Structure 1
Amino acid sequence: MPYEIEMLNVGNADAIILRYINPNGTEYVVVIDAGNKKDGIKVAEQINAFTTQKYIDLAICSHPDSDHIGGFFYLIENMQIDEFWIHDPANHVDLSEIRKSISEARLTKSMSKITESIDNNINLLEIIRKKGITHKEPFTGLKHEHIPLTILGPSIPFYESLIKNFRDVKQLFEEERILEYDDKDEYGLLCQILNEDESLSDVLDEDDDKSSENNSSTIIAFHPDNGKKYLFTADTGPMALQNVVDSYPEWTKELDWLDVPHHGSKKNLNSSLIKHFSPKVAFISGKGKRKYPNMAVVNALKKVGTLVYSTAKSEGSIIHKDGFALRPGYGPAENY
C-alpha cells in the first residue's frame, strides 16, 4: 500500500508526517512530534498542501521536550485531530514531589528543562481533554486499529522507573553536567573522527545519554504489508533502545529505515545498536551545525552500508516514499 514519511526541516527538533493509504484506498495522516511552537504552522501547511484530507488521524507526542511537543499547541487549535497518543506522568508519579525535588536542587538548565517539559505535558493534556479528543498512553504493545503502527517502548515499568528519577537530585546534577558539555563546540573532535575510522566505536560507546526524559521517549514501529520495517526513535538513548532490541530481536534486525535518535547525537546510538539495526536508509533531523548530526554517527551508519540523509544536508524537508509519485518541486535528496 502507498505510504510516505516526511521529516520536516525544523532545525534541531522533530516533526514527522506519515501518510498511509490502506487496502481500501482510505488515507490516514499521522504526525509524530511537531517541533517547537513556531513549527506547528509548518506541519499544518504541509498537511493541507500534500494530503487528500486536511486533518490528522493520529498525533503522537514521543515525549514533552519543547522541540517535540511545542508545535502541537498550534495544531490542536487549528486542525482536526481524531486521536492523540501521549504519556500522562500524573498517572504514574506524584508531580508535586518532582517539582519539590527540582526546586530544592536549585539547578539551572536541568531545572528549567524538566519543569518546562512537565508544564508542556500538563497543558497539552488539559487541552486534549477539553476538546474531547480520544487519547491513549503509548506503551509497549499498543497498536492502531487501521494504521500498521505498534509501540515497542517504553514499557510501563520502565517508564515509571525513569520518571521517578526526576526526584533524584544526584541524577539531575549529572544531566546538567551533560547539558553543559553538549554546549561546547566539538568541531575539533569531529575532524579527528573523520580521519580515524578505527576510533568510531570508542567515540560512540564512551558516554551514553542517561537522561530519564529522553529515555522515556516513545519508540514506534511502522510495518506496512510489504514486509518492510521502519523505526521511529525520537530522543531515546542506548538503554531504552537496547530494551526494545531485547524484546524484539528479529523485528529490529536489519531495518529498512531508521529515524536516527536525538538529531544524530553520538550519545544516543552505540556501535552495537548500529550493527544490529543496519538500516538500509537513515533520516536525521538536525540543524547541521556543531554536533547535530555528529559525524561519528553518520560514519558508523555508512560503515554498515546505510544511506544517510539529513534535513541539514538536503537543506530542506526529506521524504521516503513507496507508491507515491514525486511531488512537484521536489528532487532527489543528497546523502552523506
Structure 2
Amino acid sequence: MRYEIEMLNVGNADAIILRYFNNEGHEYVVVIDAGNKKDGIKVAEQINAFTNQKYIDLAICSHPDSDHIGGFFYLVENIRIDEFWIHDPAKHVDISEIRKSISLAKLTKSMSKITESIDNNINLLEVIRRKGISHKEPFTGVNHNQIPLTVLGPSILFYESLIKNFRDVKQLFEEENRLEYDDKEVYENDIEYLFESLSLTLDEDDDKSSENNSSTIIAFHPENNKKYLFTADTGPMALQEVVDNNFEWTKNLDWLDVPHHGSKKNLNSSLIHHFSPKVAFISGKGKRKYPSQAVVKALKKVGTLVYSTSKSNSNIIHKEGFDFRPGYETAQQY
C-alpha cells in the first residue's frame, strides 16, 4: 500500500491531490478542493503528469468559498470524475429566502464575496448533474467503499444550523466586515503585521463564519494505522465537535491539513495540543496571518514539523512508499 498527499501552491486557496494505491496495486485519485477558477488547469496538469490513470475517482468540495470550489468548474468539463462529494444547500434551506438576503447584501461590493458562494454551489451542482456524475453530500459517517476516507463533520444537524445563517442579513454584514479586514493590503511597516509576527496568542477571536464552519472535515485512515486529517477552512467550533465525537482517533495525528491557510482564528491551544500532529501542511501566501506565526510556533512547540507552500514556494508532498519525485526538492520547514 502506497499513497501521497500533494498540496498545490495556489496562494491563499486549497487544492489537494491524494493518490492512493491499495494492496492489489490499484490506483485511486482524490481531489480535495481545487483552488480558484484559474487553478483548475494546474490541478488537471498535475493529474495528467503524475498519475497513471489520468482521471479522478473522487472529487470533494469542502465548502463553496471561491478559493476552494472555483477550480472544479474547469475540472468537471475537462477531466473524467467518477464521484463527487458536495453539499446541496437547497435540500436543507429555502433557497428563495437566501436569494432575498443576497439581493439586499449585494448592495456593497465586498458583500458579493460572501454571497457568491451560494451561486457557486448551485452552479457547480447543475454541471455535475448535467454531466451525470454520481454525487452525495459529505456528512458525518459518509465513507468511500474503496478509499480509506471517512467524513467526520459536519453532521446534518450542525450543517443545517449553520446554513440558516445565510438568510440573516446582519450575519452577512458581519462577515463582510471580516472580509474587508482580511483583504487589506499589507506592508512591511504595517503595525498590525509587526504585532502578528511577535504574537504567540491563539485563543482570541475564533472564526465564527457559518460558511467556514460548514467545511467538510475528512479522515484518511490507511491500513498502516496512520491518521491524516483534512480540515479545509473550518473553525474551532466545528473542530471541537469532531474531537468530541472522535476523541481517541483525533489524538496525536500523523498529519494535519492546517485549517484556513494557517489563520490563528481557526485553531486554538487546546486543539493543537490534542491533535499534536507529527507533520502539518499549510496552504498560504506567506503574508501576515496566512499562515499566522502564532499558529506555526504553537505547532512547533508540540513537536510538529511544519511545512507551507509559501515557505517552499512550490507544491509540497507527503509520501508513503513512493520514490522521490524527479524535479522536486526537499521541502523547507518553518
Question: Do they fold alike, i.e. is TM over 0.5?
Answer: yes
**Maintained 8 Å contact 2:217/2:229:** yes
| Large movers: runs of 4+ above 6 Å | none
Q: Helix, strand or coil: the match of 1:178?
A: helix
Alignment equivalent of 2:326, drawn from 324, 328, 336:
328
- Quickly say closer, same or farther: Cα 1:109–1:142, change in 2 above 3 A: farther
Aligned residue for 1:237? 235
Superposition RMSD in Å: 1.4
How far apart are 1:109 and its partner, in Å? 5.3
How far apart in 1 are the matches of 2:14 and 2:308? Answer: 12
Q: Structure 1 regions of 5+ residues with no counterpart?
A: none
Letter in 2 for 1:241: L
How far apart in 2 are the matches of 1:11 and 1:231? Answer: 21
Q: Helix, strand or coil: the match of 2:121?
A: helix
**Maintained 8 Å contact 2:114/2:175:** no
- Quickly say closer, same or farther: Cα 1:147–1:124, change in 2 above 3 A: same
**Maintained 8 Å contact 1:17/1:30:** yes
How far apart are 1:183 and its partner, in Å? 3.0
**Maintained 8 Å contact 1:33/1:61:** yes
Mapping for residues 1-336 of structure 1, pairs under 5 Å = 1-105=1-105, 108=108, 111-184=111-184, 185=186, 188-189=191-192, 191-192=194-195, 194-195=197-198, 200=200, 203-336=201-334
Letter in 2 for 1:7: M
How far apart in 2 are the matches of 1:107 and 1:250? Answer: 47
Q: Structure 2 regions of 5+ residues with no counterpart?
A: none
How far apart are 1:172 and its partner, in Å? 1.7
How far apart in 2 are the matches of 1:273 and 1:121? Answer: 30
How far apart in 2 are the matches of 1:107 and 1:208? Answer: 27
How far apart in 2 are the matches of 1:192 and 1:76? Answer: 43
- Quickly say closer, same or farther: Cα 1:281–1:190, change in 2 above 3 A: farther
How far apart in 2 are the matches of 1:269 and 1:110? Answer: 25
- Quickly say closer, same or farther: Cα 1:117–1:192, change in 2 above 3 A: closer
How far apart in 2 are the matches of 1:106 and 1:325? Answer: 50
Q: Helix, strand or coil: the match of 2:43?
A: helix
**Maintained 8 Å contact 2:203/2:268:** yes
**Maintained 8 Å contact 1:259/1:283:** yes
How does the TM-score come out when normalised to structure 1? 0.95
How far apart are 1:205 and its partner, in Å? 1.1
How far apart are 1:28 and its partner, in Å? 0.1
Q: Helix, strand or coil: the match of 2:111?
A: helix
Q: Helix, strand or coil: the match of 1:158?
A: helix
Q: Helix, strand or coil: the match of 1:308?
A: strand
Letter in 2 for 1:98: I
Tell me the number of residue pairs that the alignment of Structure 1 and Structure 2 aligns: 331
- Quickly say closer, same or farther: Cα 1:133–1:104, change in 2 above 3 A: same
